[in-house]
């Protein structure tokens, strides 16, 4: 249904730095929907107001006006809220008085906060509330009354004890979108089992290795990250749905389900096929890095053209006449023969030489870069993806921006994470209508 947009100035919401704001009114809406749906703008006190941003030429970001209350900890939830913040949402990160566990997860910087916090804590307003105390829970609910999204990763039962029962939240805040990350979901038998990323790597099959190889974990929090991406996408979809229904939704992402879905296509799906004609490639074997004389690289040669380009690049043209290399399936079955033939030739060449030859022939290949290499990767620097920011006592930080661009503009540049626990508590509460006595009580309760 076509919608016509008009604007209207309304009094500023509590917690905003501007006394008034402009809202968009889309009309007409379907009869079953609410009469009007407005996009509300309430920028973070640290962000320049919408009007000032427009005057300075900054494009309005896609989630400007969306307020997120983030109760999550560790990686999955904080990653989801980071992406929302990078795309313009005002994210209020609520930490316990002792600080989030994420502050101690990873290398510890000179300011006492971890490398993980310095990545995932960027662009967020940091407040501290003791949710085990009635005054802290009361303050949280006042903030929820003006929020669009609530994120948490409490196990089933814990949220209810903190006054965050999903049914009660839906009744009290019908427009609120509640996003939850759980380890195993809300059903038995594993509903109440605690989980971290390594546990999910094991349970999802990601830690298994083919044949008699010992299980091994991926050297990063891959299940946390995948779950965070799913959560961010799902709550954003719920925002889109609310624009037509006027109602929020409860969004739940199970880490086990997210990791299993992520792995299914190339790890588990082959076992569901009835009498497969031939086995697929062993990815770890076929794409194993090659060692040149001064480093390592990876190459993917699936098509006949790519394999031909490879043979020319490493001077192994005789393989093109070998029946064992006649097609892709045959090459996968005889990969050991290909490696044995090519490894001596590759070892005599530099990585730069091999990559230049392969790329000239359109064969996908890349250098195996170290972390030190990534800090100065020419492509990432030239594209503006990596940026430097002053981290205070943490030093001069190099950080990744959002990989998503909108109309050519990359959001979230130059954002850094605050160091002090609850550093924005007083400012945020004052802007949200709390008086001095209430703030003093909350401070005594740990704010």
For the chain, domains (ranges, CATH) are 4-47 (no CATH), 67-264+420-444 (3.40.50.10540), 290-367 (3.30.1540.10)
Look at strands 177-182 and 250-254 and give their pairing: parallel
Greater confidence (12 vs 401) lies with: 401
User: Residue 2 has what pLDDT?
Assistant: 43
**Each residue of 160-182: pLDDT tens digit?**
989 899 999 999 999 999 999 99
Instruction: Please give the full DSSP string across 320-385, using - where no structure is assigned.
Output: GG-GGGSSHHHHHHTHHHHHHHHHHHHHTS-HHHHHHHHHHTT--EEE---HHHHHT-HHHHHTT-
Q: What is the pLDDT of residues 338-376, one digit of tens each?
A: 999 999 999 999 999 999 999 999 999 999 999 999 999
Question: How far, in Å, CA of 344 to CA of 163, rounded?
Answer: 66
What are the beta bridge partners of residue 6? Answer: 25
Distance of alpha carbon 180 from alpha carbon 160, whole angstroms: 13
Number of neighbours of residue 200 by Cβ within 10 angstroms: 27
Q: Give the other-Cβ count within 10 Å of 39's Cβ.
A: 15
Is the pLDDT score of 382 beyond 70? yes
> What distance in Å separates the CA atoms of residue 372 and residue 156, rounded to the nearest whole number?
41
Task: Strand 20-27: give its sheet, edge to edge.
Answer: 4-11, 20-27, 38-39
pLDDT (tens digit per residue) in 117-148? 999 999 999 999 999 999 999 999 999 999 99
The pLDDT of 196-213, averaged and rounded, is 89
| Structure-token pair, residue 55 | 């005057």
């Amino acid at each position: 249904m076509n919608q016509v947009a008009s604007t209207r100035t309304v009094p500023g919401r509590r917690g905003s730095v501007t006394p008034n704001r402009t809202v968009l009114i889309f009309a007409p809406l379907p009869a079953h929907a609410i009469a009007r749906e407005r996009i509300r703008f309430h920028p973070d006190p640290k962000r320049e107001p919408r009007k000032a941003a427009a005057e300075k030429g900054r494009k309005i970001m896609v989630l400007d006006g969306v307020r997120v209350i983030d109760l999550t900890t560790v990686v999955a939830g904080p990653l989801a809220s980071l992406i929302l913040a990078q795309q313009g949402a005002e994210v209020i990160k609520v930490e316990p008085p002792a600080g989030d566990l994420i502050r101690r997860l990873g290398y510890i910087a000179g300011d006492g906060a971890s490398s993980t916090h310095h990545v995932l804590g960027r662009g967020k307003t940091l407040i501290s509330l003791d949710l085990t105390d009635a005054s802290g829970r009361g303050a949280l609910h006042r903030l929820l009354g003006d929020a669009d999204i609530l994120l948490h990763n409490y196990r089933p039962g814990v949220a209810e004890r903190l006054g965050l029962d999903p049914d009660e939240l839906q009744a009290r805040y019908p427009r609120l979108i509640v996003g939850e990350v759980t380890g195993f979901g809300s059903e038995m038998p594993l509903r109440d089992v605690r989980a971290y990323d390594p546990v999910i790597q094991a349970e999802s099959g990601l830690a298994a290795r083919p044949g008699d190889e010992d299980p091994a974990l991926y050297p990063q929090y891959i299940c946390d990250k995948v779950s965070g991406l799913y959560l961010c996408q799902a709550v954003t979809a719920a925002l889109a749905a609310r624009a037509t229904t006027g109602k929020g939704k409860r969004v739940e992402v199970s880490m086990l389900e997210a990791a299993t879905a992520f792995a299914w296509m190339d790890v588990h799906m082959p076992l569901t096929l009835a009498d497969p004609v031939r086995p697929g490639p062993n990815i770890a074997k076929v794409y194993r890095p090659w060692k040149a004389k001064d480093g390592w690289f990876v190459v993917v040669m699936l098509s006949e053209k790519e394999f031909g380009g490879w043979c020319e690049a490493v001077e192994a043209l005789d393989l093109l006449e070998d029946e064992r290399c006649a097609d892709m399936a045959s090459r996968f079955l005889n990969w050991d023969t290909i490696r044995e033939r090519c490894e001596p030739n590759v070892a005599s060449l530099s990585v730069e030489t091999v990559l230049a030859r392969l790329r000239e022939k359109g064969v996908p290949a890349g250098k195996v870069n170290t972390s030190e290499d990534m800090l100065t990767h020419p492509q990432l620097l030239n594209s503006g993806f990596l940026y430097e920011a002053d981290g205070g006592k943490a030093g001069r930080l190099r950080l990744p921006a959002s990989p998503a661009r909108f109309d050519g503009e990359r959001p979230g540049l130059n954002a850094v994470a605050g160091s002090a626990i609850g550093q924005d508590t007083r400012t945020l509460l004052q802007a949200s209508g709390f008086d001095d006595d209430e703030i003093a009580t909350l401070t005594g309760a740990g704010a």
